[in-house]
Structure 1
């Protein structure tokens, strides 16, 4: 599994890439692999206000459905509409073409509650041991 160093990670398996005052968010490689082939994505709407740790959408896969929880607070600036017709893009390329939304970064302090790639890899390793 791949956990790029430049990203921050939540315990809910959502990654965040900071681009200036914007945060690009998506589902981690671990999450997409655990879920299996993603068959549908419920995206937020542009203009929605997200609060850190609140649900902002969901993904459906053959195995299950999973809520998506916001890693940071902010206004949704863009959504990846390509996922509506090709949700499996998250499986194929979770960190680039499979991004879910771009939000304004309302409170940079919230980033401190997210994990580094190394910490997230350790977190996933513990989760796998418990399975």
Structure 2
């Protein structure tokens, strides 16, 4: 599994790219493999407010429906609407075109909880 070194990660397989006060959020390649083939993806509305750990959408696969939870608190500033029509983009380009949303993050302490690539690689090796 490819784990880009410039990103941060969560224990539940989201990646986060911090760009000043914005954070681009997606699902890691490993997380996507764990989910299986996505049929449908429901993402939050732009301008909605999330708190870390809040439910923000669903990922429906052949086998089940999975809840998605916010890795950071903040205002949703952009949503990748392409994914609602073309979920294969997630698998083809999980770290570039497969981003889920952009959040204007609120708490620096939440960013400090994220794993670096090395720690994330250790985590997925244990799973």
Does TM-score exceed 0.5, indicating one fold?
yes
Match of 1:21 in 2: 21
Residue 58 of structure 1 and its aligned partner are, at CA, apart by: 1.6
3-state SS of paired residue (1:121)? helix
CA distance in 1, matches of 2:54, 2:11: 13
Contact map agreement 1:14 1:69 (CA 8 A) in 2: no
Query: Where do 1:97-116 residues align within 5 Å?
Result: 97-116=97-116
Matched, 1:121 2:125: no
CA distance in 2, matches of 1:64, 1:93: 23
Q: Tell me how many residue pairs correspond in the alignment.
A: 127
Match of 1:47 in 2: 47
* Residue-by-residue CA offset, 1:66-105 (whole Å, 9 max, x unaligned): 2211111110000000011101211111111110000101
CA distance in 2, matches of 1:125, 1:54: 27
CA distance in 2, matches of 1:101, 1:65: 19
CA distance in 1, matches of 2:47, 2:10: 23
Contact map agreement 1:79 1:100 (CA 8 A) in 2: yes
CA distance in 1, matches of 2:65, 2:8: 23
Which 10-residue stretch deviates more, 62-71 or 77-86? Answer: 62-71
CA distance in 2, matches of 1:116, 1:66: 25
Indicate the RMSD between aligned Cα atoms, in angstroms: 1.0
* TM-score using structure 2 length: 0.94
Match of 1:62 in 2: 62
Matched, 1:6 2:6: yes
Residue 45 of structure 1 and its aligned partner are, at CA, apart by: 0.3
